[in-house]
Chains A and B, each alone.
Chain A
Amino acid sequence: MLALALCVYVGLITVWPLGQLLLTAFGPGDEGQLLGTMRDTLSARATGRAFWNTLTLSLVSVGISLTLGAGLALAVGLLRMRFRAALSFLILMPLIIPSQILALSWIELLGSQSPILRALGLAPAPGQGNPLYSRMGIALVMGIEHMPLVFIAIRAALKSVPADLVEAARIAAVPPARVLMRVILPLVAPSALAGALLAFTAAVGNFGIPALLGIPGRVPMLTTLIYQRLNGFGPSVAGQVAVLALILTLIAVAALALRAALMRQLRMRIEGGRAFSPSRRAPLWAQALIWAGVAVIAILPLAALVLTSLVPAIGVPFSVEVASLDQYARVLANAAVTRAFGNSLMLSGAAAILCVAVTLPLAYLATRRPSPAVTALDLLAEAPWVVPGTVVALAMILAFLPPLPLLGVSLYGSAAILLIAYLARFLPLVLRPVMAAAQGADPGLDEAARLAGLGLADRMGRIFAPSVLAAALAGGMLVVMTAMNELTLSALLWSSGHETIGVMVFSLQYEGNSTAAAAVSVLSTLLLLALCALAQVSLRGAGARALPWHQG
C-alpha cells in the first residue's frame, strides 16, 4: 500500500514529466518525418554554438575550480594554521551563495562603477563595458562557484590519508616535496578527479551565471538558449528545446557515469589507521597568500555587492558621504519584492516539509524492506537532481502546461507547478542523508520491535523516525536554503504574482536596476546566512555532518 502510494508520487512528479520530455524530443518533425525535431535542432547553427560554448566554458571553468580548489585544499589540509574552521567556511562560500548573486557580486566588483576598484583606481573606463560579459568571464565565475566541490573532495581524501604512510616516508628521509608528489598526491588524485567531474556537471547545468553574464555578453549556452527560446517563442518551440535539454542531460550524465566508473577503477585500497594530521606550521607568507586568495574569492565580491546596495541611485559612484539605506527602503516598499520573499519562503518551507514526509517512508522501505521496485524508486527519485535544473523545469512545463485530465485546469501559471518542481528536484537533498543514516542504523532494532509485535506505523514512527530525525532535519534545512534562492527552475516556471527571490534579482538586474538588484541580493544573502546559523545551532552530530560547510 505504502509502496504503491510512493510509486504514484514519484511517478507523478518525476517519471511523467521527464518521460514527456523524452517523448517530445524524439517526436516527429513539422512535416511528420521520423525524429524530425531532433534532426532539425541538431543541424541548427545556434545549437552547435551553444553546445560548443557549454562544453568548452565548462571545461575551462573546471580547470579554474581544480587549480583553486586543489591549491586551497592542500594548503588547508597539509599546513598547520590558526582559524582553519573560519577559513574553510569562507572557502565554501561560493557554493552556499546562489549563482545569480555570485555573478551579480562579481559584476559589481569588476564593473566600471566598482566601489572597490574605483577606490584603487583600477576600474575599467565607463565606456568599456564589464570584462565579465564574455566567455572568459563566464568560465571564471563558474570556476569560482564550483571550486568548493573540488575543495571538499580533496579535503576529505587528505583526511583519510593514513599517518603511517607519511611517517614511513619521513623516516626513510624522503624530502617533503617528494612525499607530497609521490605519496600524498597519488592518494588524493582519484578524489580530485571525482570532484572535478562533479564541478563539470554543475557547470554544464548552471543557469544563473550564463544568464547574468552570457545574455548581455551574447555568449549563448545550452541552459540560456533553452530559456531564451521558451521566453521568446513560447510552447511552440517545445520540441526544439526538449532536444537541447536532452543534449544537456547527456553531457551531465556522461560526466557522472565517468565519475562513477573512475571511482570504482581508481579507488585505492588504503588500510585504515590514524589519520594524517599536519605537523608543519604554515609559514607566514603562505598564510598571507591563502588569506589574500580567500579574500578575493569570497569577501571582495560580496563587499562590492554590499557597497553597491548602499548607493542611492544608479550611476552615482560610491562614497561614504552618499552611502544610505535608501535602496533598501525602496525595495522593501516594492510589493513585488516583498511578495517574492513571501513566495520563496512559503514554497521552500512547504517543499522541505513535504520532502521530509515522503523521505521517511521511502527510506524505511528502501533499507528495511528492500525490493527491486523500491530500489528503482530510490534511483528514479535521484534523477531530477542529477539532470540540470533547466531540464527539470522544461519537463514540468511539458507535463503540466496541458490541462490536467478530469480537472481541466492547467497548473502552469500557478504556484503549484513551482512547488511540484521543487519537490522533484530537491527530494534527493533529504533522501541522501536520511538513507545514509538509515543504512548506518542497526536493522536489529526494527526486527526486535517486529518480534515484540509492533505494527508498521508504530515501528516507523517510534523506532525508525527518531533514528534518522537529525539527518532528515538537516536535509530539510538544506532544501529551504537551496530552494529559497534558486533561479534555474523559477526562471522558466514563474508567473506574475508568483515571483521568487531569484527571479526578482534576475529581472531587476535585467532591467538595468543594478542597485536594487544588489539590495535584494544582500537581503536574501543575510536571510540565507541566518538560516545557516540556525541550522548550525539546531543540528548536531549526524545532522550537522550533512551541512555543506561541515565537509571542509
Chain B
Amino acid sequence: MPRVQAKGIGKSFGGQQVLHDVDLDLPQGAFLALLGPSGCGKTTLLRLIAGLELPDAGELRFGDRLIASTDSFVPPEARDLGMVFQSYALWPNMTVRGNVDFALKTRRLPRAERRERVDEMLQAVGLEPLADRRPHELSGGQRQRVALARSLVLRPALLLLDEPLANLDAHLRHRMLAEFRRLHAATGTTFILVTHDQDEAMAVASHIAVMEGGRIQQVGTPEDLYRQPATAMVARFVGHGATLPVEVTARQDGICTLSLDGAARNVPGLQVPGRAGPGPAWLCLHREDLRLSRGPGHVRAQILSQSFQNGRYLTHVLPRGIGTDLLTLSLDHPLPAQDEVGIDITGGWVIAREGEAAPLRQPSVAATADADA
C-alpha cells in the first residue's frame, strides 16, 4: 500500500454532518496520529478508511487504487488492512492462539507455516506463555497485545488503531506506546492511530492530523504542529499551548512585529516569527517561550496558582487585559499567589486571527515528509 489518500471526504449520520471535506495524504510507512477532542469524528474517519462506513462525498485511494468514492466501494475484507478496536473486540469463545490464528485458518495456508507465523507473532508481543488462555482471563494490557497480534499476523499494509490505550493505566500506556513504535519499525506497516491525548500522539507519531468538528485543522510532523500551528485550536491543543490576541504591525522575512493590546504594557519591537500579515493575529505560545521578567516585561500577569512538578514550580498566571488563556511558566522558585509579575516573551508563532473559521491549509504531508527524509 504505497500511500493513503483522502480527497474531500464527507459523511453525515441522519442529517448531522460528522465529517466535512477531509483531505489527507499519508506516505507509505508513516505513523499517523489522528488527534482531536472526543466527538470530533476521528472514529468515523477511521471506520471510513476501514470500509465499515461509506463516504457521502469525496474519494479514498490506496496508492493508485480507488478504494471508496460515491460510486465505487472496495469492501473491508478486500482492503488488506488490520484494525485494533477500542474494545479490543477479542472473540470470547477462542483462546489467545485461536484469536490470532482464526483469520489465517481461512486463508488456506499450510499448517506448518500458519503455526510458525502465529508463534512468531505471539512471541513478538510476549504472549507465548498465555497462548491457551481465554480473553476474560487476561488483563487489559494483555488483551491489547492479543488484538495487536491478531491484526499484525495477517501482515496488513495498513494498521488502524482506535484509541488503543484509552482503557489502560498510565504506566501500561507508556509501555504500549514503546511497543507500537517497535512494531511499526519492525513491520514497515503504515499505522493510523486515533487518540484524544496529544502527549500520546507526540510520543509515537511521525505525522499528526489534528481534527475538530469534523474538519482536519492541520496535518504535519509533530515539530510542525508544535512550532508552526496553523490554527488557534491546534496551538492550544498541542503541547499545552496558549494564544494571545495581538496586532501585527509589520512583517518582513517571516518575522512579525507585534503590538500587544489592552492594559498590557506596549513594548515596541516585540518580534516573533509567523505567517500573519498586518492586522489582528494570534500569538501562539508554549511554556519555553515565556520567562519571568526582571523589568516590566511584555505582559503583566497575576499569579493564580503554583504546583510543584518534576523539580520545577509550574506557575499559572492570568495576563492582564489581554485574552482569556492562562499562561504557564516553569520557575525554579515559588512565588506567592495573587502577586503581579512581568513576563518576557522570547519566542512563539504568529497566525492571522480573522481567518479562524476557515483554517489555513498546510502544504501536503507528503512534501513535508520528503523534506524530513
Contact = CB atoms under 8 A, between A and B. Distances in A.
**Interface size class for chain A?**
20 to 34
A527 interface: no
B97 to A, nearest CB: 14
B255 interface: no
A511 B154 CA distance: 72
A271 B75 CA distance: 26
B151 to A, nearest CB: 8
B339 interface: no
Nearest to A268: B92
Given A174-B102, A269-B92, A270-B92, A162 B150 contact: no
Interface string A162-181: 10110111111111001000
Contacts of A272: 87
**Interface size class for chain B?**
20 to 34
Interface string A245-277: 000000000000000000000001111110000
Contact of A171 (B81, B106, B107): B81
B50 interface: yes
A172 B103 contact: yes
Nearest to B78: A173
Nearest to A173: B77
Interface stretch (A182-190, A227-235, A423-431): A182-190
A165 B106 contact: no
A171 B82 contact: yes
Most central of A168, A173, A270 by chain B CB within 10 Å = A168
B136 interface: yes
B277 to A, nearest CB: 47
Given A182-B102, A271-B87, A171 B92 contact: no
Given A167-B52, A168-B83, A269-B136, A174 B103 contact: yes
A478 B265 CA distance: 78
Interface string A441-466: 00000000000000000000000000
A271 B88 contact: yes
Nearest to A274: B87
B367 interface: no
Contact of B85 (A168, A182, A269): A168
B297 interface: no
Nearest to B99: A168
Contacts of B52: 167, 170-171
A175 B83 CA distance: 17
Given A186-B93, A268-B93, A271-B87, A169 B102 contact: yes
Contacts of A164: 85, 87, 89
Interface of B is mostly: loop
B93 A187 contact: yes
Given A164-B87, A178-B106, A269-B136, A170 B92 contact: no
B76 interface: yes
Given A167-B52, A168-B83, A175 B88 contact: no
B91 interface: yes
B150 A172 contact: yes
B89 A162 contact: yes
Most central of B76, B85, B94 by chain A CB within 10 Å = B85
A232 to B, nearest CB: 53
B85 A170 contact: no
Interface in B44-87: 50-52, 75-79, 81-83, 85, 87
Nearest to B85: A164
Nearest to B154: A172
B29 to A, nearest CB: 20
B91 to A, nearest CB: 6
Contacts of A165: 89, 91-92
A273 B87 contact: yes
Contact of B82 (A162, A167, A172, A269): A172
Nearest to B94: A182
B77 A171 contact: yes
Contacts of B81: 171
Nearest to A185: B93
B191 to A, nearest CB: 15
Interface in B141-179: 150-151, 154
A186 B90 CA distance: 13
A171 B83 contact: yes
Contacts of B79: 171
A263 to B, nearest CB: 16
Given A162-B89, A168-B83, A174 B136 contact: no
A253 to B, nearest CB: 30
17 contacts: A162-B89, A164-B85, A165-B89, A168-B89, A168-B150, A169-B91, A171-B51, A171-B79, A171-B81, A171-B82, A171-B83, A172-B102, A173-B76, A173-B107, A174-B77, A182-B91, A187-B92
3 closest cross-chain pairs (CB), A and B: A172-B103, A164-B89, A173-B77
Interface of B: 50-52, 75-79, 81-83, 85, 87-89, 91-94, 102-103, 106-107, 136, 150-151, 154
